Amino acid sequence: MFCYDGDMRHRKTKNKKRSTILEIITKSNHETKELGALLAQIEQHLMLLKKRSGALVLSLEGDLGSGKTTFVKGFAKGLGIRETIQSPTFVIAKIYKIKPSTIRTARTLEHFKNLVHIDAYRIEPKDLPAIGWNEFIKGSRNIVLVEWGDRIRNALPRKTIRICFSHNTKNTRTVRYICQEAR
């Protein structure tokens, strides 16, 4: 399991919005995948507790090789997706079907249905309508993971969760989970 070597802090940003920052050190690709799977499961639980007005959008930010695609592989596994996950560098967007959660509540039918994996490295905000961006982010049953989300920051929904990856050593990464406002 990954090692929690960081802390959780609450900060006020420039525009006086509260943000939560969770900083975690992963020490292998396996731990980065496990972190992705854990966050996917947490988001599934939150989906059942709170109604969303649009998609859950996560902006994955970091240099080449920092762990973004590895994280997505774990996230997809945490959602029960068994397909092979690859970075959609050339197809730009790939959609995976999510099976219903095993969590049983009165709202079980309101589960996430699609994982949309986007690679924004080679696109600009003006290109987004051509890939179905507006439909992706409006669907309350979609989870949208955007690798290189910082390249299209102005097009991201206001409640986008930022996950920032950085290299520490050859095998270790710092992963920062930044969530603005209370969800």
Quote the pLDDT of residue 99. 81
Is 1 a member of any domain? Answer: no
Quote the pLDDT of residue 94. 96
**What DSSP character marks residue 40?**
H
Structure tokens belonging to residue 178: 């930044």
Structure tokens belonging to residue 43: 């988001």
- The domain that holds 131 is classified in CATH as 3.40.50.300
pLDDT, tens digit, for every residue of 93-152?
Answer: 999 999 876 554 444 445 789 999 999 999 999 999 999 999 999 998 899 999 999 999
Structure tokens belonging to residue 165: 């990856």
Quote the pLDDT of residue 181. 53
Is 2 a member of any domain? Answer: no
- pTM for the whole thing? 0.84
Q: Give the integer Cα–Cα distance in Å for 54 and 15.
A: 23
Bridge partner list, 163: 60, 177
Domain enclosing residue 82, as ranges: 8-180
Asked if 91 and 102 count as a contact pair (C-beta separation under 8 A), the reply is no
pLDDT, tens digit, for every residue of 3-18?
Answer: 444 444 444 445 555 5
Asked if 121 and 63 count as a contact pair (C-beta separation under 8 A), the reply is no
